[in-house]
Structure 1
């Protein structure tokens, strides 16, 4: 939070500006990939996830897409001092938007909440030249498992479109820069869910 001073008719009033929050729905759900410690599980209505290739990146990433009547799990976290610079740099292929739909969370001090989404003019479906990285899927699933358990992992797969896109198996030599080490049971969970949704996993 930030404090400010407002003067009205010679009266000095101290007011507190709440820190804004972001809503993460992909790798940002995994707390090991960032240092935004004041974070809480959250659900947002009116959105789904989709795998998209963007002209600003060589591989496919998740984006949020409007979807009436849908809800996705995620994580909200405070951005101290309204300092968006580092997060905007991390999410440079996305535009940042204010969350206007229903948002459910337990954060007692959340200010405005923002969500990142790929701009339509930069968005396309993943293909063989712009695949999904398995190391990225691993990070996202690990985050959902820690926040929501196996039921949350299943919901993640069920509320994400684009599993027919090629998924490059880079697990032995991860390409995703924020890759994490998964335990054997975590890998088995990822692999089982990929099979369940008939994902197209290809060799690196």
Structure 2
């Protein structure tokens, strides 16, 4: 994670250069995007949650306000403030500003987080988590934060009751990655620990 001696809490009060996003799911996996100046980061007061929506039959990983909770993720620059490509990728979500983000990049940054909007949330019908999607997210956390980061991902994510659809043999997730047997075993162990 960040070097504790160099850690500074930075706000978006003073902005310099390109805006940044905070990724907390598949965007933590650098293989799914090529946004520049990516760096590990933490935000407080937010948790992850699996959400069913009216937009598709499987769950989205979203963020939700959660006092006292801290989540790790990745921040990365959006060159020239051109959000169009990222907004298309995150079409079910809306951007929200983050007041404070812990990171080691220089300067004051403007950082946004994506959250599924309430009018898209739906509990009608099953909305399972694609295992291929979860594999991508966990692979990113493992690469960035190690096994402890994977454990913290499972601990600080809500909504697991939606269940999991095993699509590993024929991945439905559009940014599915090649994963190793140890990667998949870590995902399976995390699900077992949740009683799934």
User: TM-score w.r.t. structure 1 length?
Assistant: 0.85
Alignment partner of 1:178 is 2:175 = yes
CA spacing shift, 1:143–1:71, aligned 2, 3 Å: same
Residue aligning to 1:124? 122
Determine the structure 2 residue equivalent to 1:157: 154
Structure 2 gaps of 5+ residues are 1-14
Cα root mean square deviation, aligned: 1.5
Q: Distance in 1 between matches of 2:145 and 2:89?
A: 24
The C-alpha deviation readout for 1:142-198, integer Å capped at 9, x for no partner, is 000000000000000000011121210000110000000111111111101110011
Give the structure with higher Rg (CA).
1
Contact 1:40 1:76 (8 Å CA) reproduced: yes
Partner of 2:109: 111
Higher relative contact order (CA 8 A, sep 6+): 2
Match of 1:107, SS?
coil
Give the distance between the partners of 2:123 and 2:136, measured in 1 at CA. 21
Distance, in Å, in 2 between the alignment partners of 1:125 and 1:106 is 39
- The runs of 5 or more residues in structure 1 that have no matched partner are 1-15, 200-204
Residue 184 of structure 2 is aligned with which of 176, 182, 187? 187
The equivalent residue for 2:23 is 24
The question of whether the paired residues in 2 share the 8 Å contact of 1:19 and 1:79 is answered with yes
The answer to whether structure 1 residue 147 and structure 2 residue 144 are counterparts is yes
Q: Give, in whole Å, the separation in 2 of the partners of 1:125 and 1:107.
A: 39
Change (3 A) 1:126 1:158: farther
What residue in structure 2 maps to residue 55 of structure 1? 54
The Cα shift of 1:58 comes to 2.9
Counterpart position of 1:35: 34
**Hey, what's the Cα distance between the residues in 2 that align with 1:126 and 1:185?**
35
Distance 2:154 2:124 in 1: 17
Normalised by the length of structure 2, the TM-score is: 0.89
